[in-house]
Amino acid sequence: MAESQAAKRLVVLVSGSGTNLQALLDTVAATGTEAYGAEIVAVGADRDGIEGLARAERAGLPTFVCRVKDHGTRAEWDAALAGAVAAYEPDLVVSAGFMKIVGKEFLALFGGRFVNTHPALLPSFPGAHGVRDALAYGARVTGCTVHFVDDGVDTGPIIAQGVVEIRDEDDESALHERIKEVERRLLVDVVGRLARNGYRIEGRKVVIQ
């Protein structure tokens, strides 16, 4: 008889409303950790008082906060964040609306298993204002990208993308809400497939087995 594989351990990092985190929580609860292939073991943030942390607490998960301003240098913050995440021994770390660029120490520990979701079709419109920038540019389609994090800003190998049409009447918030509907489904699908199937990164290509 084939042995069932242990569910992969996920740490999710958030900075805001946490609806992507909620989509992961709901899917794990509805599907079961074994069938989904992963369980969320902790949620971390770079700030207090956000709905993302409240969602984790309501789900009974441990949380931690690692704020840049509590550390002397950015490198010290990065090392502290890496240590806080490492304490939960994750297989994968998911940045779900985590609005910070991690540094060398974090990537030394979690490079190749740190997944981010970005609200634009990379390599177009990287950075903190992907939705606003696509709208201002006059693009007719945009979307979301789930990718591995490397040492650039939204430059790591792409795992999956979802396309969203831009409507004439869109403002940033309406467009972002429609992107997030696609993004939540994409993130849940990608994280589950990475966890269940395993993957390898070949240069810029991600091959899910």
Which residues sit in the known binding site for (6R)-10-formyltetrahydrofolate? Answer: 74, 99-102, 116
Least distance from ligand GRF to the Cβ atom of residue 142, Å: 11
Distance CA 187, CA 38 (A): 13
| Nearest one of 71, 67, 80 to 106, comparing CA atoms | 80
103 binds ligand GRF (CB under 6 A): no
Q: List, in sequence order, every residue forming a beta bridge with 10; answer none if it has no partner.
A: 40, 92
Residue nearest to ligand GRF (CB): 97
* From 1-9, 76-84, 116-124, 193-201, span contacting ligand GRF (CB under 6 A): 116-124
DSSP, residue by residue, 94-149: EESS------HHHHHHHTTSEEEEESS-TTSS-STTHHHHHHHHT-SEEEEEEEE-
Residue from 20, 27, 63, 142 in contact with ligand GRF (CB under 6 A): 20
180 binds ligand GRF (CB under 6 A): yes
Residue from 103, 119, 143, 162 in contact with ligand GRF (CB under 6 A): 119
The pair of three-digit structure tokens given for residue 196, joined into one six-digit string: 């269940």
Q: Which of the residues 83 through 102 are near ligand GRF (CB under 6 A)?
A: 96-97
Q: Tokens 């696609």 correspond to what residue?
A: 182
Helix H or strand E encompassing 38: strand 38-45
Identify whether 123 is preceded by a cis peptide bond (ω within 30 of 0). yes
| Whether residue 118 lies in the annotated active site | yes
* From 36-44, 84-92, 114-122, 196-204, span contacting ligand GRF (CB under 6 A): 114-122
The pair of three-digit structure tokens given for residue 82, joined into one six-digit string: 């890496």
For ligand GRF, the closer CB: 78 or 154? 154
Least distance from ligand GRF to the Cβ atom of residue 41, Å: 18
Least distance from ligand GRF to the Cβ atom of residue 75, Å: 23
16 binds ligand GRF (CB under 6 A): yes
Give the residue numbers marked as catalytic: 118
